[in-house]
Amino acid sequence: MFELTFLGTAASAPLPKRGLSSVIVAHDEHRFMVDCGEGTQRQLLSSGLGFRRLEHILITHPHLDHILGLAGILSTLGQWETLDHMNIYGGQSALDRIEDLINRIVFRGTRPPIEINLIAIQPGFVFQGDDFDIVAFPVRHRGPDCFGFVFQEHSRRPFLNEKANALGVPQGPERRTLVKGLPITLADGRVIYPDDVLGELQPGTKLVITGDIGEIDGLERIARNAHALITEATYMESDAEIARQNGHITAAQAARLAQRAGVQQLILTHISGRYRERDLEAEARAIFPNTVIARDFDTFKIKALRDVPKPVE
Ligand SMILES: [Zn+2]
Ligand SMILES: [Zn+2]
C-alpha cells in the first residue's frame, strides 16, 4: 500500500487554498517527496508530517513551481541538522538549476551542513526497495529532462496461515523462510514446501505520477492497470489549444488517459484558479467517473485488489 499526502496542488502560481506542487508518497518506513514547490516546508508542518525521514526528494522537471521550495527546506534542515543527508533525484536540467539554488543562494560561500546528494536520473530504476521499486519514465512537457514516476510494489504470494497451522508450521523464522520461497524441515522430519502454504501470485500496488505533461500519447502503456494515476489538469477542454501551446493537458485528456490505461482511480492536481473545481471535475468524470481533484492535505491510501481508494476522513 502507498499512502499519499498532497502538500500543494496549484498550477504555476499559488492560490489562496492551494500551495505549489508537492506530494508525499509513503510506503512502510519509506517516505518520498515528489516535487517541492515554494512554500512546501510550511505545508509539510501544517500536514503534521514534519521533516522526519525526508531523505528522498524526486523532482519531475526543472520548472520553478516544482523546485523553489527546496531552498527553504534545505535552509531549515541546515539550521536544525535533523537529517544528515538528503538525496535529490531529477533529470540533469533540474539538478543543474537545483545545484545553483543550493550553492549560489542557500549555502553561498559555506559548505552545506548536511550531505546533499544530487542524483541524475535516466528512464529506468530510481530506487529499489525490498518490496517495491520506483521507475522514472520520460514525459513531454516544456524543455528537456521531464520525468514521471511509477511506484510499483513487487508481486507476491500471500502466506496462508490456516494451511500453515494445519501442517504444524511453527510461528517464527520458518514462516519467513517459506515466504522467501525456500522449503523447511520440521522437527518430525517432514519437509514443507512454499507451494504448500503460499496462495496465488498477486500483483502489487501500482501508483503512477506523471508530473506536468503536454500530451498523453505514449503514457497509456506506462499507466496500464495502475491502482492510482496522479496527473495534471491545468486546463479545461475549452482551452485545449492554449493547453497544447503551454505544454499542459486538459481534465478531459487526463480522463481519457485514465480510461484507456484501465486505471482504478484518477487523481487530478496542478489546478489553475481560472476554473471552478466542480467544472473541472465534471469534465473528467463524464469520461472517467472515478476521478477526484486533489486538495492540499488530502490523503489517500492506494491499495491493490479492486477496493477503490477513498480520501481518508
Ligand atoms: Zn508546473
Ligand atoms: Zn512545468
- Nearest ligand to residue 213 Cα: 2
User: Per the domain annotation, does 311 fall within a domain?
Assistant: no
CA of 283 to the centre of ligand 1 (A): 21
First-to-last alpha carbon distance for the chain, in angstroms, is: 18
Report the alpha-carbon distance of residue 55 to residue 36 in Å, rounded: 13
Chain Cα centroid distance, residue 123: 16
CB 216 within 8 A of CB 249: yes
pTM: 0.89
Between the CA of 60 and the centroid of ligand 2 the distance, in Å, is 9
pLDDT digits (tens, 9 = 90+) for 180-210: 889 999 999 999 999 999 998 888 999 999 9
**CA torsion through residues 63, 87, 154, 305, sign:** negative
C-alpha cell at 178: 517459506
In-domain check, residue 95: yes
Q: Are residues 68 and 134 in the same domain?
A: yes
Alpha-carbon distance of 150 to 133, in angstroms, equals: 8
Please tell me the distance from the alpha carbon of residue 192 to that of residue 198, in angstroms, as a whole number: 11
How many angstroms separate the alpha carbon of residue 11 from the centre of ligand 1?
Answer: 5
172 and 212 assigned to the same domain: no
Buried b (16+ CB within 10 A) or exposed e, 288-299: bebbbbbebbbb
Per-residue pLDDT reduced to its tens digit, 71-82? 999 999 888 767
Which residue segment(s) compose the domain that 188 sits in? 161-197
* Closest ligand relative to 143 C-alpha: 2
Can you give the pLDDT at residue 77? 87
Residue 291 has pLDDT above 90, yes or no: yes
- Cβ(112)–Cβ(78) below 8 Å: yes
Phi, psi of 165 (to 5 degrees): -65, -45
Catalytic (active-site) positions: 65
Residues 138 and 275 in one domain: yes
**Do the domain assignments include residue 308?**
no
